């Protein structure tokens, strides 16, 4: 049997720990960085390393996610509020879908389906509440 020293076990543990913190996002997804309950910025796409600590929350959002406009500059998606580029055709209370990202704002478009949808907690599919 191979006799490994204690430093080898520490290096193996650190390597596994670092590989577990690596996140890979495709072009259609971003992490929204929320610090102390307030939106800061979007991160991604690509390879990101998420270090633990502090009051930082990373929420993954994708192109096509649906939300509701709260105010002329803010939209709520998955119980979180994000800034978006205001458009005159989008009114407060309208449902929108994400079509893109900038560094600090979402790019949204009016969603033709203005019915309230329930999202399944298990798999994420949407059902109409009508």
How confident is the model over 94-118, as pLDDT tens digits? 999 999 999 899 999 998 887 776 6
Q: Is the per-residue pLDDT at 12 higher than 70?
A: yes
Q: Are 111 and 66 in contact (CB under 8 A)?
A: yes
Mean pLDDT, residues 81-91 taken together: 86
Copy the structure tokens of residue 124. Answer: 């994420």
**Mean pLDDT for the chain overall:** 86
Domain map (residue ranges) of the chain: 22-128
Q: pTM for this structure?
A: 0.74
Angle made by CA atoms 83, 117, 58, in degrees to the nearest 5: 40
State the pLDDT at residue 113. 80
User: Is 2 a residue whose pLDDT tops 60?
Assistant: yes
**Cβ proximity of 98 and 63 under 8 Å:** yes
What would the pLDDT profile of 27-55 be if each residue is shown by its tens digit? 999 999 998 889 999 998 999 988 777 78
Predicted confidence at residue 1, as pLDDT, reads 56
pLDDT above 70 for 129: no
pLDDT of residue 117: 66
């Amino acid at each position: 049997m191979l006799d490994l020293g204690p430093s080898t076990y520490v290096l193996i543990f650190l390597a596994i720990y670092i590989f577990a913190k690596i996140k890979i996002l495709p072009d259609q997804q971003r992490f929204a960085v929320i610090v102390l309950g307030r939106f800061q910025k979007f991160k991604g796409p690509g390879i990101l390393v998420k270090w633990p600590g502090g009051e930082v929350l990373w929420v993954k959002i994708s192109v096509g996610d649906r939300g509701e406009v709260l105010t002329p500059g803010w939209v709520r998606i998955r119980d979180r509020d994000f800034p978006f580029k205001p458009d005159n055709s989008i009114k407060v209370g309208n449902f929108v879908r994400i079509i893109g990202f900038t560094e600090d704002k979402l790019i949204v478009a009016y969603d033709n389906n203005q019915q309230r949808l329930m999202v399944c907690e298990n798999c994420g599919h949407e059902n109409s509440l009508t």
